[in-house]
Amino acid sequence: MGRFTLVLMLTYASLLGVSLANKDWGFGFNNTNWPGSHQRHNQTHAPKKIIVGGSQNWHFGFNYTDWSLKNAPFYFNDTLVFKYDPPSNTTFPHSVYLLPNLRSFLNCDLKRAKMIANPTQGGGKGFEFVLKKRKPHYFACGEKDGFHCKVGLMKFAVVPLLRWRY
């Protein structure tokens, strides 16, 4: 195979790569008014408020991965609402953390996690989190050093605007 052919193949491959990348990710750059994007992702939908877990709220033992798959896709500016009783009202308080990456998510490793809602913030109307970043969000309960996350299934991942399954 000559050098020229190789270069051509590489060029072709990179073109393919770029077009695939655009197909999957390009809509994220400007989703206000992109012609043609409407068939794949309904751009006219208004941001929604979604109660995490639905009527189950945020509690130990509910499969939130399953819930998130059934309620995907989530969009930019959608609001996730975490509702859970404050310590004054329950003996099993919860919280909400963002885990830094897939690995910590899979292991329920809270070492570098960031608390976004403490055990009292889920009371009343609940804690609201707006999906503002175009990246995976790994949510978990941080109570009992990962026990709620690991054994209580209190974790789920969300990729705003990307459909989680096709």
State the residues that interact with Cu ion by CB under 5 A: 94, 141, 143, 148, 154
**Residue 44 near which of Cu ion, ligand NAG, none (CB within 5-8 Å, type-dependent):** ligand NAG
CA–CA distance, 35 with 37 (Å, rounded to integer): 6
Using the CB atoms, write b or e for 48-65: b if 16+ within 10 Å. eebbbbeeebbbbebbbe
Residue 156 phi/psi, 5° resolution? -165, 160
Q: Which is nearer to ligand NAG, 5 or 32 (CB)?
A: 32
In the complex, minimum distance from the CB of residue 32 to ligand NAG, in angstroms, rounded to a whole number: 4
| 126: alpha, beta or left? (left if phi > 0; alpha if psi -120 to 50) | left
Q: List interacting residues with ligand NAG (CB under 6 A).
A: 30-33, 42, 44-45, 63, 65-66, 69, 76-77, 85-86, 89, 123-124, 153
In the complex, minimum distance from the CB of residue 127 to ligand NAG, in angstroms, rounded to a whole number: 11
